[in-house]
Each structure stands twice: as C-alpha cells, then as structure tokens.
C-alpha cells in the first residue's frame, strides 16, 4: 500500500500532471487534446501521462488510431483513506475536490 501511495503522491506533486487531471475531470480526452494547451512536446506530455497511468490516476486506451485518457478516481480515494487515518483530514468528497481543482488550478491556457 505504501508504494502505491508514494506513486500517487509523487504523481500529484507536479503542477502539469495536476492540470492534466483537472482537464480530465470534464471528460475523456485524446492525448493530442491533452497536449494542446501546454508549451511542451507531445513526448514530454506522454511522459507525464505514463506517470499518471502508473499511479492509477488515469487509464489510457486506443480507440481506432487515437489514444484516449480517462480519469480513474479510485487512486485518489485510496490516498484520501490514508489521510483520514491521521484524524485531522476529513473524507474527500470528489465533487468538492473537483470544485477545488477548478478554482485553485489555472487552466492550461491561463498558465
């Protein structure tokens, strides 16, 4: 369990990956659409997506010729359960977490 949490928190530590997660809150996206708002190469975005996938935060699937990304909230639930063990954190309401991300994270075109 600790290795999984380490992977999740390491993935969440990067602002680009958090922005990608915020984008995927809306809907599944093609990898090229995920990359579009960022000023970095498709290869760099792909590396971020690999990290998010390994952490279980997103899944990727091929639909025809296009690779799609989908948010997988279960990894966040596991992190939330772990944080609750400290007694000072309230359970994470994923709807409230989504609203928080929308307010706190700039959209990629604002960055």
Each residue's pLDDT tens digit, 2-14: 788 899 999 999 9
Is 45 part of any domain? Answer: yes
Distances (CA, A) of 42 to 27, 31, 33, 62: 20, 8, 10, 16
Number of domains in the chain: 1
pTM, to two decimals: 0.74
Is 110 part of any domain? Answer: no
- Given pLDDT bands bounded at 50, 70 and 90, which one contains residue 30? very high
Main-chain dihedrals φ then ψ at residue 11, nearest 5 degrees: -65, -40
Structure confidence by residue, pLDDT tens digits, 55-106: 999 999 999 999 999 999 888 888 888 777 776 656 667 777 777 777 877 6
Is 90 part of any domain? Answer: yes
- Which residues are within 8 A (CB) of 56 and not within 5 positions of it... i.e. 6 or more apart? 4, 7, 8, 72, 74, 75
Parent domain of 68? 2-104
Is 18 part of any domain? Answer: yes
Distances (CA, A) of 109 to 14, 15, 55, 94: 17, 14, 26, 24
């Amino acid at each position: 369990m600790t290795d999984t949490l380490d992977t999740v928190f390491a993935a969440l530590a990067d602002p680009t990956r958090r922005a990608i997660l915020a984008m995927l809150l809306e809907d599944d996206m093609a990898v090229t659409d995920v990359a579009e708002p960022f000023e970095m190469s498709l290869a760099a975005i792909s590396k971020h997506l690999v990290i998010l996938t390994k952490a279980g935060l997103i899944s990727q699937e091929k639909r025809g010729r296009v690779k799609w990304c989908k948010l997988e909230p279960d990894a966040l639930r596991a992190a939330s359960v772990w944080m609750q063990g400290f007694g000072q954190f309230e359970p994470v309401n994923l709807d409230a977490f989504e609203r928080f991300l929308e307010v706190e994270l700039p959209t990629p075109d604002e960055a």
